[in-house]
Amino acid sequence: MSQHSVNNSLMKTFLFEIWKSLGGDQQIIPFVYEIGSGNLPSVFCVSDLASASIAAASLAIAEYKACIFGSFPEIYIDRRLTSFWFADSIKPIGWTLPSAWDSISGDYMTRDGWIRLHTNAPHHKNAVLRVLDVQAEKNFVTFAVKHWQADELEMAVIQAGGCAAVMYSQAEWKKHDQGKAVLAEPLVKFEESTDKATVSRSPLLERPLFGIRVLDLTRVLSGPVATRFLAGFGADVLRIDPPWWDEPAVIPEVTIGKRCAYLDLHKREDRTRFAALLAQADVLVHGYRADALDHLGLSAAERRRICPGLIDVSLNAYGWTGPWRNRRGFDSLVQMSTGIAEKGMRKYNAAKPTPLPVQALDHATGYILAAAVIRGLLHRLKTGHGSLWCTSLARTAFLLESQQVANSNLFFTKLVESDYSASIEKTVFGQIQRLRSPISISNIQLHWDRPAGKLGSSVAEWLP
């Protein structure tokens, strides 16, 4: 199997851009080595982005460990495995995952172009059906959408509390007010807090994040990917969801290593409980719309007041400035807005929008978030100060689109048994085999202390 430093690959460019935006020292990048070759089939450099984003999070772990224990380790990134971790990391044994997509979710032709409707959540689906005034049948939706102009339907669905995205080209997105706003933003925004932490933790050599308390307010899919990575290196991750929320297709994928509890932050008593948890946390990762926590009385200033020294890390779909900063969005919608699906359609001469082969914006942003958390922990270790970090799916899309894919016919073969760990994960859903770790760091192993579990299966409290 080939092994080489990142200095001569497209991965290098992505890794340098990510690491620079995180404020990292460029001189430690040569400690990263990539193993293997090949690509996922795409008109974009998806496999390079996969390796680079996972490498950035791994580099942050290695840097954090070296700061505490000394000696910087070499990092090996398996290109094939990173690419497949961007799809599904699990293989159910004797059972089947439910579909990731609602029957109405998909791309539809309007009078003047394509639009994507995202209806996986019941309230988002109901919003679409109310706007179209149809029953929940695909053919009814298809017929109704044909009578709308794309931008008018998009706005109507958004105003009804749903999720939709018109398909733009890359050139159109760059001229769009929101596209221009996102392009002007850094990949990762960093802001140091003036307050200092009042807690200290004692990590373990093999588990650098042992004892770090991570409060997880994220759902499909970037945030859960980030906190899964943190849990894999020893963090105590407590995920909080409202009692009515579920995402059955991805819960077995992303809850490994975590405890999951229910709180309804619209209720005063649950907000009080959440504030008590936040006061004892090291890290908060959240993926709500930009103004959502403010409306709950949990602004950034209030979060810092509750927990001095907090590492506060957040993402949203469409960026932190511009007219769409508060808009709901998901990976598939952002691919439509930013021109990714249009370019795939055009390059492949396809009859409909052609997205990436995996939800690369979600996964890459997740690992960038994880790296931001760890860099925030390192910053606090050195200075005592907390910090605020922000990124978005739309900004990750610009990163992906910044590089032209190299001409290559070397595509990965399908997954084989040797790609999976030999150990069996026994979960409440059934037995699972999970892909082998795509990361190898000296004396540090990516592994989880508890199997994947259901939402709301734990009490909303920290481990002693």
Do 117 and 141 form a contact (C-beta atoms < 8 A)? yes
d(CA 242, CA 235): 22
Task: Give the per-residue pLDDT at 199.
Answer: 72
d(CA 64, CA 72): 9
Q: Is the dihedral of CA 214, 220, 226, 232 positive or negative?
A: positive
Q: SS3 sequence, 210-229?
A: CCCEEEEECCCCHHHHHHHH
For 92, other C-beta atoms within 10 Å of its C-beta total 15
For 441, other C-beta atoms within 10 Å of its C-beta total 21
d(CA 239, CA 250): 14
What's phi and psi for 207, nearest 5 deg? -130, 80
- Tell me how far apart the terminal alpha carbons of the chain are, to the nearest angstrom: 44
**Chain centroid, CA 444 distance in Å:** 23
Do 250 and 221 form a contact (C-beta atoms < 8 A)? yes
The per-residue b/e assignment along 415-430, b for 16 or more CB within 10 angstroms, e otherwise, is: eeeebbeeeebebebe
Task: Give the per-residue pLDDT at 6.
Answer: 47
d(CA 160, CA 134): 15
Query: Hey, which residues does 261 pair with through a beta bridge?
Result: 240
**Chain centroid, CA 272 distance in Å:** 28
DSSP at 44: S
Taking alpha carbons only, the member of 186, 92, 114 closest to residue 398 is 186
215 sits in the region (left: phi over 0; alpha: psi -120 to 50; else beta) called: beta
What's phi and psi for 247, nearest 5 deg? -145, 70
Do 302 and 274 form a contact (C-beta atoms < 8 A)? no
Predicted confidence pLDDT, tens digits, the chain (464 residues):
445 444 448 999 999 999 999 999 999 999 999 999 899 999 999 999 999 999 999 999 999 999 988 889 899 999 999 999 999 999 999 999 999 899 999 999 999 999 999 999 999 999 999 999 999 999 999 999 999 999 999 999 999 999 999 999 999 999 999 999 999 999 999 999 988 887 767 777 778 999 999 999 999 899 999 999 999 999 999 999 999 999 999 999 999 999 999 999 999 999 999 999 999 999 999 998 888 899 999 999 999 999 999 999 999 999 999 999 999 999 999 999 999 999 999 999 999 999 999 999 999 999 999 999 999 999 999 999 999 999 999 999 999 999 987 666 789 999 999 999 999 999 999 999 999 999 999 878 899 999 999 999 999 999 98
Helix (H), strand (E) at residue 257: none
| Secondary structure (DSSP) of 232-244 | TTT-EEEEEE-TT
Residues in the chain: 464
Do 101 and 119 form a contact (C-beta atoms < 8 A)? no
Q: Is 169 helix (H, G, I), strand (E, B) or coil?
A: coil
Tokens 């200095």 correspond to: 7
Task: Give the per-residue pLDDT at 9.
Answer: 84
Task: Give the per-residue pLDDT at 407.
Answer: 61
Percent helix, percent strand, percent coil in the chain, to nearest 5: 40, 20, 40
d(CA 16, CA 406): 18
Task: Give the per-residue pLDDT at 406.
Answer: 65
Q: Which amino acid is at 292?
A: A
Do 372 and 399 form a contact (C-beta atoms < 8 A)? no
